[in-house]
Each structure stands twice: as structure tokens, then as C-alpha cells.
Structure 1
């Protein structure tokens, strides 16, 4: 993997605002399936829509710190085995929309911490179901908090293809940008950390674009299942985490942190 420069996220940036008067249109009509009727994990829709061009599925790219992400699909995770295999950080799904909470969250979130990993929680966004601030509150209230203990990553919002219908959830780029901004600002207000943004380059460039430069404030966790990382979403010039494969040595998805172990701790510390 080409080495990109690493930046810590200790500097606080002023919250970026959209042009005065910009309003988010009413959400588009959603699929009749109720929230919580399905559990979507990080990358489930990206792999479905974008596939993988990897030829050596068991061979990790060159990187500093390997990690993983899990959801209820992995059930009770054997965290000691994952640690022994080399995983040093994990993201655990906490919530989806405002109607789903991971029933395995405690075993996964606490178990990864207990074995020594640096871990964080993530939220699968459904922007056509409710507002960004509302979903951020649901996330923070159900596992998406942060503490300056050096073992907790900032919460993450999973922004990817709509599992129920229209790719961009029926929202324009301006409306989607505002939704992401509302989620991010509410998480900052409640946790004092900007959330990591999980996405793919193709989805982000199509559905969000570059009207607000989230790369100045929010760490990037990018999904791209290929031998090399490739282009990053508009607004970022380096990634913090690369999800390079949807399955592999560790349970769940396979990730690489763009830095060394000490830098990973500094990201956790804020």
C-alpha cells in the first residue's frame, strides 16, 4: 500500500456550515420494511455493488496495524484468538437507523477492550428514515460514546448504498451533505470528537460530493476491496483506516490503520 502521510485528529476545527438558508428536503419515501428487520454490516452494500478485484484473498496489503470490524453476524467473537492472530483494533456495530441495536454489542465491544484492543462503535446510517441529529442521538445513547482512555476510537458513521432502494436514499448531494453534517455535529456536541466517516469513494462522490470538506475534520475509514487502495473520496487526501477485504484472517471485515501503534493510540486519545 502506498504510504500516505499520517495526521492525528487532536486539532479541533470549527464546524463547517452550508450556505445560509440551505434546507434538507423531507425524506424520500422509504421501503416498507421496518427498521430493525434486517442487520446491515459495514461494507455489506459496498461489496454487493462494487465487488472485489482482489486475487490473493488471504494476503494482507503492506500496512502498520491490522484490525477488524464486526456486527451481530459474527455472534460471540473469540477475541483472544483474534488478538493472537494479530488484530489490534476493532470497530463494532452498535446501531442502525433509530430502530436497531446490535444484540451482541456488549460481548463484542467489551470483549475487544478486555483482550487489549483499541475499539470503537459504528452506526449504519439510513438517511431517508430520520434526521442526522436524531440518528446520532440514538447511536450515542446505545454505545457510540467516547472516552479519553486511549482505548476508545471516535464513533463512526457508516455511509453506503441504500440496502432498501435508491442508491442515495432519494436525497440530493446538498441534502445528503447536510444530513452527514447534522450527524457529525451532534456527535461532536455529545462526545467532543468528530466521528469517523466510513464509506467508499464511488458512493461518496456520487451521493455526497465535495461541497463541504469533511476531510478537514472527520477521519476517513474507506472501503475498497482491491490489491491497492486507489483514489480517495472527494475532500480527503489520506485515509485513517482502509477496509481492504470483507472476510479473511479475523472474523468480520479486514482493516489496516494508516500509521503505527503509537499513532493509533493518539487517535484514540484525541
Structure 2
């Protein structure tokens, strides 16, 4: 077991270099508009003391993807060295109770960084983040009391299901956030590095499905299902396109239009933002 302290802007600066601790976890961002002004100060001070490092984002509950992007944008220079984490709490969180929010956040962050963040959550709310158990480590909060002001590990049960155990247990949160970490120094460094390359993209395949699509705006019929491919024609708003298959690509939903002599045309039904460009009949 390693000892870890987590710090934020109002923490005494001495906490980041606390004697006897192995890891310093620093709050980096919150929502999409706050960067901890003391983040790099604490991070660099801890690094000079040869501490292992972590950085975390506090969820405000806005757009999950946007928050993940904000966290990555402001911490990308730490990626590979510090273990990232996402802090899921009820305070100042407009999406508290949403069981898909953190799943969306960690997927987006992993796509950007190739690293799965740890998930901080109180023991009683683990069910809100349970769908992340196969990918992310658990940083669970459970205190014996609010007057446990020491590094003595409490003798108590900490429920972690569906995780088999915790990666981090935060057992005090009053005068100092004290944590025990269930790995070795080398294990922590591996968590920081993540995978060597981004996860493989799922292959897009055509699904046979017939129907009609009414254009909500003027659109091009393309020679292939790529937005930069040549246009066969441009159809006006209100045109009806008969299709025989659909393809959900990495960005856009495509429809396949049968044409003469066994050829096909292709049209975008939803743009890269998921906006429908017409109506299905």
C-alpha cells in the first residue's frame, strides 16, 4: 500500500510535499471554465520531492464530452507522467444521479489520451459509475468518522462491487484528504502511461434497411460514402430519396440510394454533430 494526499487550491501548499507520502494528486480543472491556479505549483513541488503524481477533474455536470476535452486540453502536458482521475460528487454537480455521465466522460478522455482515468466516488454512489468498472480503476471515499485525523488505517469494510477492489481508498476528508493506494510504484506509473496506442476503432458496416428520406435542406448525392467524394447530383430541399441500406460511420449517418445499372449514390442523413438533415418516412 502507498500513501497519497490529494490537494486543491485552498489546501496548504505544504500538503503537496507531505512527509511520509508517496503520491500527490492535484486538482486541475472543474467544469469547462475553471483551472486550479495552484495546480502546477503543487505539481512541480511534489515532483521535486520525487512524489508520484496524479491530476483530477471535478465534474460540474454540463456536457460530459466537453468537460473531458477541457480536462485533457489543460493537462495534456502531464499525461504519461501523472495518473488522471475524474471526481464525481453531488456538490456543484447538475448531473448528479446520471448513470451515463461519467461513462461518456471517460470514453472521451481515453479517446484523446489513450489513458483511462480513475473514478472518484463515495461508496454509497458507486452504482452511478458501475458501467465503467471494466475499464477504469475505482477511487472510493468512505470515512470512519469526520474526526479521523491520522494516517492510521481504519479497520472497516469498504464496498467496491462491481469492482473486485479499490485502486484508491480515501479514508479522511476533514483536515486532510488521506488515501491509501492499492498498487506499487511501478503499478502507478503503468496507470499513468495507459495503453501505448488508442483503442481500435469499431469497423463501420452497412445495414440492409429500406425506406424513404425527405431532405430538410439541399444535399449532394455522392459517388462514395465520404463527404469529400465527387457529387453525382445536388437535390433540393423536399426531395425524397429512396434508400436500401444505412451506414453509421465514425462521424456521419449515410444512406445508400440504388441507381441505374447496379450503381449506388450516397447521401448524408445526419451530420457529424448528430443533427438530422431531413426526415425518415
TM-score by length of 2: 0.60
1:218, distance to aligned residue in structure 2 (A): 0.3
**Which residue does 1:39 correspond to in 2?**
none
**Which residue does 1:157 correspond to in 2?**
86
SS of equivalent residue, structure 1 residue 112: helix
SS of equivalent residue, structure 2 residue 14: coil
Distance 2:77 2:118 in 1: 13
**Which residue does 1:7 correspond to in 2?**
none
Q: Does 1:244 align with 2:171?
A: yes
Higher strand share: 2
Distance 1:122 1:170 in 2: 18
1:96, distance to aligned residue in structure 2 (A): 1.1
Deviation per residue, 1:184-216 (Å, 9 max, x gap): 0111011110111000121233xx164x2x111
Cα separation, partners in 2 of 1:152 and 1:94, compared to 1, 3 Å: same
Q: Does 1:219 align with 2:143?
A: no
1:265, distance to aligned residue in structure 2 (A): 3.1
Distance 2:121 2:16 in 1: 26
TM-score by length of 1: 0.62
Q: Is the 8 A contact 2:120 2:138 kept in 1?
A: yes
Q: Is the 8 A contact 2:31 2:67 kept in 1?
A: yes
**Which residue does 1:259 correspond to in 2?**
183
Pairs within 5 Å for 1:35-54? none
SS of equivalent residue, structure 1 residue 203: helix
Distance 1:263 1:120 in 2: 13
Q: Please, which runs of 5 or more residues in structure 1 have no aligned partner?
A: 1-63
Higher helix share: 1
Higher relative contact order (CA 8 A, sep 6+): 1
Q: Does 1:138 align with 2:70?
A: yes
| Aligned-pair Cα RMSD in Å | 2.3
Q: Is the 8 A contact 2:55 2:85 kept in 1?
A: yes
Q: Rg larger in 1 or in 2? A: 2
Deviation per residue, 1:97-131 (Å, 9 max, x gap): 1122111111011211121111111111111xx21
Q: Is the 8 A contact 1:89 1:117 kept in 2?
A: yes
Q: Please, which runs of 5 or more residues in structure 2 have no aligned partner?
A: 145-153, 195-281
Cα separation, partners in 2 of 1:133 and 1:216, compared to 1, 3 Å: same
SS of equivalent residue, structure 1 residue 218: coil
How many residues matched? 185
Q: Is the 8 A contact 2:142 2:171 kept in 1?
A: yes
Pairs within 5 Å for 1:174-189? 176-189=98-111
